[in-house]
Amino acid sequence: MQEDNKKENKNDRRDFLKKGLLGGSVLAAGAIGLNRVFAGEKVKVVSPDGKVYEASADNLKEFHPKPVTNDEARKGIAGKKFVMVIDESKCDGCKKCTEACQAMHFTESDREWMKVFTMKDSDATAPYFFPKPCFHCDNPPCTKVCPVNATFKRQDGIVLIDNERCIGCRMCMAACPYSTRFFNWSHPDPKQTAAIGDAPYSPESSYPRRMGTVEKCDFCPDMLRQGKMPACVSSCPMDAIYFGDQNEDAVTNASGVTVKLGQLLEDNAGYRHMEELGTEPRVYYLPPKNRKYPIPDVKNAEKGKKSKKMPGMDNGAMQM
Amino acid sequence: MTNDNFDLKKEIAILEEDCLRPTRTFGRSTQIWVGALLVVIGWGLYCFIHQLSHGLGVTAMRDYVSWGLYISTFVFFIGISHSGTLVSAILRITKQEWRRPITRSAELLTFVSLCFGGIQPIIDLGRPDRIANLVIFGRLQSPLIWDIISICTYFAGSTVFLFLPMIPDMALCRDRLTVVDSRFKRFKKWLYTFMAIGWTGTKSQWHRLEKTMNIMTIVIIPVAVSVHTVVSYIFAMTLRPGWDSTVFGPYFVAGALYSGSACVILGMAAFRKLYHLEKYITPRHFDLIGRVVLALTLIYAYLNLNEYWIPAYKMATAEGHLLSDLFYGSYSKVFWTCQFGTVLLPILIMSFPKGRKIGPLVVTCIIIAAGAWVKRYLIVVPTLLHPFMPIQEVPAAWSSYFPNYVEFSVTAACLAGIFLVITLFSKIFPMMAVWEVAEGIELDHDKKVAIEIREERVITDETELARIATLKNGQVTPTASLNETL
Ligand code: SF4
Ligand code: SF4
Ligand code: SF4
């Protein structure tokens, strides 16, 4: 990984010099950084070789690190087993994770790869927030059914989609039991397309998106290659999301606190959603015990449900 | 005996005339009918092109209901395609003599519904332009690939199954064409000659035809069963409530036979009336195939019971939500209409001999066909609206589904396509297997004699020479000439 990074940095630098662009960490952090910069403002940027420059925001341009080859993207990062832990006792449902994800991947607002559900398992139990990315299952029902191997499982545990190969049969959407996948029903939003610019496609960045193909949460592998956290993790103000490598037994949250994965799960009775389905998710949850926020309003859960209320159904939330 | 033979000859000559007559005309009403179908197809094509250029977003499908009318129609059409196998193969194997006048239309129905069923998933693809990926990157572990393989096999098989018994008829058409005046005589002459592939009716030709038919009959049955089994697998191989069912394979096969056989009756009734085949397709035929449909409906009802009653008894969480929506929720009216109106009611009607008379039987079969189509929809859509994760805070269009005009137009065009192909086919080719029916008439006359004829046919050369001679005259039929030689 270290090696990879160095090599990439070299490439980056060449691009950087050739195009006369100001690249750097602000830029590499992607659209989130850029969105908040106003024209004319002076900002500090760090170039890939670590030097700090001051530059006018007008000169800043979207910087896309050169993506890895399709073969690399299908193999994944050697030696890693990525894992996520979401602490329901900390999540207050602010949806910053969803927003960061959407900015990172140029998704439309109705498209929530990281979706925050309001769950209530039964009448007597207390509601809680349930942020749900793709679980990157170890026994993924979605990749099994793909007729063309357009969606695949990598050695580092990540499940990705190659939208240059996907034929749009939506077999994988039917197969995923967690409603994780989205379909590009129409031409992508021109505003988003403009924002993406001429970035080359890679299954690791999931954009530019293409009509008639499937997309979903990708665990931000392009960030991971740069040694950075997925967008949702680093944007969570409650430090509710941990991310890391199972092989190292270490996970880190937005504040940079690194804890032992095994210990975290053991101390907090970690579990996986719907274990009985046998999909072996790579995302663990910590139960909402001693929560650090007010009890959620279950009315959230009602929105968007089928208009007719079904008898025998509690507030739309399902049990685990 | 001589008297008998004379009658037989005349009868078969009349049969041939009755079968060939529709192929010589293309009347006003046919023209209007074909024109109307072309309009529907044209509009459907326009909608499909619209869908191609703007994406599937022009349909009512969204991320929760990601399969809708197209996939339901796929299951329905593929189901109909079981009709040909049922009538031709199963009834042939069980030596049901009454099958003879209806085999051709059943086999045709199989062929056409497979064509139009097979294109449904392609219409439903997000990227039909990448269809070659299925070959380049195809993986055997995907149920979709199983579907493609088995549907293609079945398609090839049923094309052969349709074509084989047509060969002697093509020869007949070819030889008869010379004496009648026809509008597309040149084309027809070429077509019939081509399709008859040099059939002269020699004993070795008959022998080979019968042998191949026997093999095909046996081969096609497991293929047909496999087709609808793997169609069910695209659902049953998922973990979704309502689809995650071990009974889905047989359930789909039974549903296919139930709807397919009903459609055969509809085809029979239509051709009988339009082409004046009352003499050959008699109330007795309707009574007999009515019994078959009754038996198949009973099997289908039994599987319905298993499919719904077992999970309904347990009401496991996710399954329970789906079932309550079907039983007393937003789909309950349609669901119970389907179960009572199109399964139990037909059983009741067809149980009585009066219900198997032509009129009531046709009405029942229309109900069955429509019900089967709606039932496919009820299998596909409600499950998608009841995922494990709750549907929360999504645009209103995502949390419900009803097909919109694009989907209806494209589907209607496919249905019109089925009618068009059948109509054109029946205007070029005889809709009854002439030689098979003729053979049936002979058998009716005297079973014993007929058996001798068959043996004779295989053994002597004299009969063959006589037959070829008469064939060349183009006046006496091959089968009749056989009788003469006796
Ligand atoms: S959550 Fe769904 S899309 Fe993600 S890996 Fe599991 S089955 Fe596939
Ligand atoms: S929609 Fe695309 S990724 Fe999903 S199963 Fe079909 S081809 Fe594979
Ligand atoms: S950003 Fe953190 S606290 Fe906010 S919804 Fe997401 S996981 Fe919960």
* Closest residue to atom 8 of ligand 3, CA basis: A91
Task: Report the residue among A161, A176, A211, A214 best suited for mutation to probe ligand 2: largest number of ligand atoms under 8 A from its CB.
Answer: A214
Least confident of A26-30, A311-315, B396-400, B474-478: A311-315
- So what's the pLDDT on residue B446? 59
- So what's the pLDDT on residue A317? 38
What b/e readout covers B26-60, taking b as 16+ CB neighbours within 10 angstroms?
Answer: beeebeeebeebeebbebbeebbeebeeebbbbbb
CA of A156 to the centre of ligand 2 (A): 21
* Interface contact flag, A304 B388, Cβ < 8 Å: no
ipTM: 0.83
Least confident of A157-161, A308-312, B237-241, B450-454: A308-312
- So what's the pLDDT on residue B485? 41
Contacts of B388 in chain A (CB under 8 A): 177-179, 274, 277, 318
Q: Taking the CA atoms of chain A, what radius of gyration do you get in angstroms?
A: 20
Yes or no: say if A293 and A283 are a contact pair by the CB < 8 Å rule.
Answer: no
What percent of chain B stands above pLDDT 90? 58
Does B475 map to a domain?
Answer: no
* Interface contact flag, A316 B393, Cβ < 8 Å: no
Which DSSP symbol is given to A53?
Answer: E
Residue of chain A minimizing CA distance to B236: A175
- So what's the pLDDT on residue B31? 92
Distance from the Cα of residue B439 to its chain's centroid:
24
H-only helix segments in B91-142: 91-93, 103-118, 120-123, 133-136
pLDDT in tens, B246-256: 999 999 999 99
* Interface contact flag, A304 B398, Cβ < 8 Å: yes
- pLDDT tier for residue B331 given thresholds of 50, 70 and 90: very high
- So what's the pLDDT on residue A23? 38
Whether the pLDDT of residue B39 is over 90: the answer is yes
What percent of chain B stands above pLDDT 70? 88
Dihedral-angle region of residue A239 (phi above 0 means left; psi in -120 to 50 means alpha; beta otherwise) = left
**Where along chain A do its domains lie?**
2-62, 70-286
Amino acid, single-letter form, for residue B74: F
Does B345 map to a domain?
Answer: yes
- Nearest residue to B477 via CA among B16, B117, B114, B20: B16
Tell whether A303 lies on the interface with B, counting CB pairs under 8 A.
Answer: yes
- pLDDT tier for residue B470 given thresholds of 50, 70 and 90: low
Peptide bond into A177 cis (omega under 30): no
pLDDT in tens, B176-200: 776 555 567 778 888 888 888 888 8
Yes or no: say if B126 and A211 are a contact pair by the CB < 8 Å rule.
Answer: yes
Contacts of B139 in chain A (CB under 8 A): 146-149
Q: How far apart are the first and last CA of chain A?
A: 36
More confident residue, B244 or A314: B244
Q: What is the DSSP string of B296-329?
A: HHHHHHHHHHHHHHHHHHH--HHHHHHHHHHHHS
Residue of chain B minimizing CA distance to A163: B127
- Nearest residue to A274 via CA among B308, B316, B351: B316
More confident residue, B15 or B265: B265
Cβ-Cβ contacts under 8 Å for B189 (sequence gap 6 or more): B174, B177
- So what's the pLDDT on residue A110? 85
Tokens for B385? 């609206």
- pLDDT tier for residue B14 given thresholds of 50, 70 and 90: confident
- So what's the pLDDT on residue A43? 64
pLDDT in tens, B199-235: 888 888 889 998 998 899 899 999 999 999 999 999 9
- Nearest residue to A128 via CA among A316, A309, A294: A294
Distance CA B354, CA B332 (A): 31
Q: Using the structure block, give the residue that is written with the tokens 């509008």.
A: B183
- So what's the pLDDT on residue B484? 45
Among A139, A142, A310, A314, the strongest candidate for a mutation testing the B interface, having the largest count of B CBs within 10 A, is A310
Tokens for B175? 């030889």
pTM beyond 0.95: no
What b/e readout covers B355-386, taking b as 16+ CB neighbours within 10 angstroms?
Answer: bbebebbbebbbbbbebbbbbbbbbbbbbbbb
CA of B287 to the centre of ligand 2 (A): 47
Element (H, E) at A239: none
More confident residue, B425 or A66: B425
Q: How many CA atoms lie within 13 A of B372 on its CB side?
A: 31
Tokens for B347? 């059983």
- Nearest residue to A143 via CA among A83, A203, A232: A203
Distance CA B164, CA B185 (A): 23
* Interface contact flag, B142 A147, Cβ < 8 Å: yes
Distance CA B315, CA B313 (A): 6
Domain count, chain B: 1
Tell whether B135 lies on the interface with A, counting CB pairs under 8 A.
Answer: no
Distance CA B39, CA B42 (A): 5
* Interface contact flag, B127 A185, Cβ < 8 Å: no
Does B187 map to a domain?
Answer: yes
Collapsing DSSP to helix, strand or coil, A85 comes out as strand
- Nearest residue to B171 via CA among B349, B20, B64: B20
Amino acid, single-letter form, for residue A9: N
Mean pLDDT to the nearest integer, B143-148: 94
- So what's the pLDDT on residue B478? 47
Distance CA B18, CA B20 (A): 6
Pairing of strands A128-132, A115-119: antiparallel
Q: Indicate the residue of B127, B239, B325 with minimum beta-carbon distance to A166.
A: B127
Among A108, A129, A146, A148, the strongest candidate for a mutation testing the B interface, having the largest count of B CBs within 10 A, is A148
Strand A283-286: give its sheet, edge to edge: A258-260, A250-252, A241-245, A82-87, A283-286
Tell whether A57 lies on the interface with B, counting CB pairs under 8 A.
Answer: no
- So what's the pLDDT on residue B89? 86
Q: Indicate the residue of A148, A149, A318 with minimum beta-carbon distance to B388.
A: A318
CATH assignment, A70-286: 3.30.70.20
Pairing of strands A52-56, A258-260: unpaired
Does B140 map to a domain?
Answer: yes
Contacts of A147 in chain B (CB under 8 A): 134, 138-139, 142, 144-145, 148
Tell whether B237 lies on the interface with A, counting CB pairs under 8 A.
Answer: yes
Q: Specify the CATH number for the domain of residue B214.
A: 1.20.1630.10
Ligand 1 close to Cβ of residue A141 (< 6 A): yes
Please count the helices (runs of H) and the strands (runs of E) in chain B: 23, 0
* Interface contact flag, A147 B125, Cβ < 8 Å: no
Does B102 map to a domain?
Answer: yes
Cβ-Cβ contacts under 8 Å for B99 (sequence gap 6 or more): B87, B88, B91, B92
With vertex at residue B385, the alpha carbon angle to CA B382 and CA B389, rounded to the nearest 5 degrees, is: 140
Residue of chain B minimizing CA distance to A213: B126
Q: Which atom of ligand 1 is nearest to the CA of A159?
A: 5
The residues facing A252 across adjacent strands are: A243, A258
Tokens for A4? 């990879």
Q: Indicate the residue of A117, A185, A213 with minimum beta-carbon distance to B389.
A: A117
pLDDT in tens, chain A (320 residues): 444 444 444 444 334 333 333 333 344 433 333 444 445 566 666 555 556 667 666 665 555 567 888 899 999 999 999 999 999 999 999 999 999 999 999 998 888 999 999 998 888 888 999 999 999 999 999 999 999 999 999 999 999 999 999 999 999 999 999 999 999 999 999 988 888 888 889 999 998 999 999 999 999 999 999 999 999 999 999 999 999 999 999 999 999 999 999 999 999 999 999 999 999 999 999 999 988 788 787 765 665 554 333 333 333 333 33
Q: Is the C-alpha dihedral spanning A164, A170, A173, A176 positive or negative?
A: negative
- pLDDT tier for residue B458 given thresholds of 50, 70 and 90: low
Cβ-Cβ contacts under 8 Å for A310 (sequence gap 6 or more): B321, B324, B325, B329, B330
- So what's the pLDDT on residue B453? 53
Contacts of B237 in chain A (CB under 8 A): 144-145, 175
Ligand 1 close to Cβ of residue A134 (< 6 A): yes
